[in-house]
């Protein structure tokens, strides 16, 4: 090799010394060292400044009749959603590292703490109408797309759904009556909130769980519905009714409405492409 390239070693040595002694090499080396040290110390600086502290949220509850404690529900979502210690029973974690959710009786003072950065957020839970749905207002110190804000929204949705089911008479943990699934077949049931008015809960007529309903009119404790299925179909429809049905008529023929409990009734639908359903309660 020395015979082929007699000056290769001298050329490589000269190029190396030229690069090392150059200003660009020295500046790049210093900047690289500073960057490595900076990335190493960033977590420590964030910890000292309290930026990576677990979120602290206050909850103001003005609504009555809640079946579950919203503080516990939000605490659970924050801990589990953020992957913080304390989310499981096997690893309880340090309480200081957990998300902190506290109840407040002074929303004005809590909102001021949010503006001053002492709290990460304030969730207000109210019920504008005595028998109406819950209303939520979140005041946060960060962007709406912040992880804490998104988890609070998720917790609020869970609280609202639980409250709707409880007011509809469906308590937590209660087993819902579901139809038997036939061999090599399928039965579908879509659960929707019932707000004191008749609701189409689900069916085995179409996978959309409600697209077959073309008209839905309620007046004077009577439901008039028009079903458009495109072709003759047989199946079962589940409806939530505010009272026990006194008369159920499908295409001018009386049909049975089987009581499944909690205001849910099952109706066997055997009709042509379009049908008229009338229920009085």
Locate the domains of the chain by residue range.
8-49, 56-167, 199-280
Find the DSSP H helices in the chain: 8-20, 23-49, 70-82, 107-115, 147-167
**pLDDT value at 16 more than 60:** yes
**Does pLDDT of 104 surpass 80?**
yes
Write down the pLDDT at residue 93: 47
For 131, the token pair is: 């028998």
Does the reported pTM lie above 0.75?
Answer: no
Average pLDDT over residues 164-185: 66
pLDDT of residue 85: 43
CA distance 236 to 260: 13
CATH code given to domain 56-167: 3.40.190
**3-state DSSP assignment of residue 108:** helix
pLDDT of residue 182 exceeding 80, the answer is no
CATH of domain 199-280: 2.60.40
Residue 99 backbone phi and psi in degrees, to 5: -65, 140
Q: Which residue has the higher pLDDT, 129 or 179?
A: 129
Across the range 80-108, mean pLDDT stands at: 63
Classify residue 96 by burial, with Cβ atoms within 10 Å: 0-12, 13-18, 19+.
exposed
Confidence of residue 168 (pLDDT cuts 50, 70, 90): confident
Could you tell me the pLDDT band of residue 27, with boundaries at 50, 70 and 90? confident
- Which residue pairs, CB below 8 angstroms and at least 24 apart, start in 211-214? 214/274
Listed residue (69, 81, 58, 79) closest to 159, CA to CA: 69
């Amino acid at each position: 090799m020395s015979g082929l390239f007699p000056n290769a070693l001298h050329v490589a040595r000269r190029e190396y010394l030229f690069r090392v002694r150059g200003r660009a090499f020295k500046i790049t080396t210093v900047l690289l060292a500073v960057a490595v040290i900076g990335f190493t110390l960033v977590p420590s600086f964030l910890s000292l400044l309290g930026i990576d502290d677990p979120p602290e949220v206050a909850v103001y509850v003005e609504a009555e009749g809640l079946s579950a404690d919203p503080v516990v529900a939000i605490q659970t979502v924050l801990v589990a959603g953020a992957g913080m210690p304390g989310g499981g029973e096997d690893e309880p974690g340090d309480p200081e590292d957990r998300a902190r959710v506290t109840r407040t009786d002074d929303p004005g003072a809590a909102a001021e703490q949010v503006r001053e950065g002492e709290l990460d957020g304030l969730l207000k839970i109210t019920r504008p109408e005595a028998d109406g749905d819950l209303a939520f207002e979140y005041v946060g110190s960060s962007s709406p797309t912040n992880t804490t804000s998104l988890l609070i929204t998720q917790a609020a949705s869970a609280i609202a759904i639980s409250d709707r089911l409880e007011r509809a008479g469906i308590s937590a943990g209660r087993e819902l009556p579901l139809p038997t699934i036939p061999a090599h077949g399928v039965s579908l049931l879509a659960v929707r909130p019932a707000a004191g008015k008749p609701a189409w809960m689900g069916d085995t007529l179409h996978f959309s769980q409600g697209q077959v309903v073309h008209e839905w009119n309620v007046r004077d404790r009577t439901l008039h519905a028009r079903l458009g299925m495109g072709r003759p179909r047989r199946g079962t429809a589940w409806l939530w009714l505010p009272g026990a049905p006194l008369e159920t008529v499908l295409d001018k023929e009386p049909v049975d409405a089987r009581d499944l409990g909690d205001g849910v009734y099952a109706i066997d639908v055997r009709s042509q492409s379009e049908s008229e359903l009338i229920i009085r309660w």
